[in-house]
Amino acid sequence: HDIAFSNKPLAGKTVMITAGPTVEAIDPVRFISNHSSGKMGYALAKAARIAGAEVELISGPVNIRAPYEVEVTRVTSAAEMLAAVKEKIETVDVFIGCAAVADYSPVEVSCHKIKKNDEVMSLKLQRNPDILAWVAARQDKPLVVGFAAESQSLEFYARKKLEKKNLDMICANDICCEGLGFNSENNQLLLMKKDGSQILLDIASKEVLAQQIIQEIVNQISDNSH
Ligand code: CTP
Ligand code: CA
């Protein structure tokens, strides 16, 4: 039933996608992470492949099988995700940052299980590298698409991220909409572009949204080549 992209508009292009959460170890049994099923990133990988692209999926720990003909590199932490991205970035034409990357990780990872002692304890955390911003700051930068999940002032914060990280497009979603986002099947996205224009997509399955995002990327690539 995949009639979409039968003309393979991304043939000859390489698309790299980050997906899922990153997991930052505290000790051998504990970690810091984000809620993220990975469904959106895997749906994007499938849609990009159907559109004819060579697809590199860099995935945090999720319970989803690799889409057909998609190369998956499995990673755990944000540092590992960045290293995997760096390894293959040279040939990438389109980068989509869909992963829920942990913003911080423990400064020290204890090699033994931490014992409980005091009533109050604190963990020292350090900022993780921003993978999306790193890709967008490259000299020979690919087309870069980010995501923004916000619980307030969606357009304001998403536009700020688009500008600050020098993205071509950001897919913004309001995590306050009940039953949408995270582990749910459906989502609503606002696509905000560098030129200031935006497109509100209808609430739909992540598969349908992924096809619409890939279509928008195809449009932008053909605009740029004119
Ligand atoms: N991102 C990334 N590396 C990070 C943090 C975020 O690649 N260390 C990417 C995400 O994959 C997403 C985009 O940046 O595409 C926005 O992530 P988000 O968490 O919404 O924004 P942050 O820049 O981390 O800002 P904040 O969490 O403070 O809102
Ligand atoms: Ca963040």
State pLDDT tens for residues 118-172. 999 999 999 999 999 999 999 999 999 999 999 999 999 999 999 999 999 999 9
Q: What is this structure's pTM? A: 0.96
**Alpha carbons 172 and 6: distance in angstroms, whole number:** 28
Query: Does residue 55 fall inside a structural domain?
Result: yes
The verdict on residue 115 lying in a domain is no
Mutate to test the pocket of ligand 1, among 57, 101, 128, 170 (most ligand atoms within 8 A of CB): 101
Q: 1 pLDDT band (50/70/90 cuts)?
A: very low
Q: Say how many domains are in the chain.
A: 1
- Locate 88 and state its tokens: 């293959």
User: Do 10 and 219 contact (CB within 8 A), yes or no?
Assistant: no
DSSP string, 28-62: TTEEEE----SHHHHHHHHHHHHTT-EEEEEE-S-
If one counts every other C-beta atom within 10 angstroms of the C-beta of residue 197, the result is 9
Q: What is the pLDDT of residues 199-226, one digit of tens each?
A: 999 999 999 999 999 999 999 999 888 7
Out of 147, 163, 171, mutate this one to test ligand 1's pocket (max ligand atoms within 8 Å of CB): namely 147
* 4: in domain: no
Burial (Cβ within 10 Å: 0-12, 13-18, ≥19) of residue 208: middle
Res. 175 pLDDT band, cuts 50 70 90: confident
86, part of any domain:
yes
Is there a domain that residue 107 lies in? no
Predicted confidence (pLDDT) per residue in 17-36, tens digit: 999 999 999 999 999 999 99
Q: How many CA atoms lie within 13 A of 220 on its CB side?
A: 21
> How many angstroms separate the CA atoms of 149 and 158, rounded?
8
Domain that holds residue 134: 14-102+124-224
Mean pLDDT for all residues in the chain: 94
Q: How many CB atoms lie within 10 A of CB 152?
A: 9
Calpha distance 57→206 (Å, rounded): 16
ipTM: 0.99
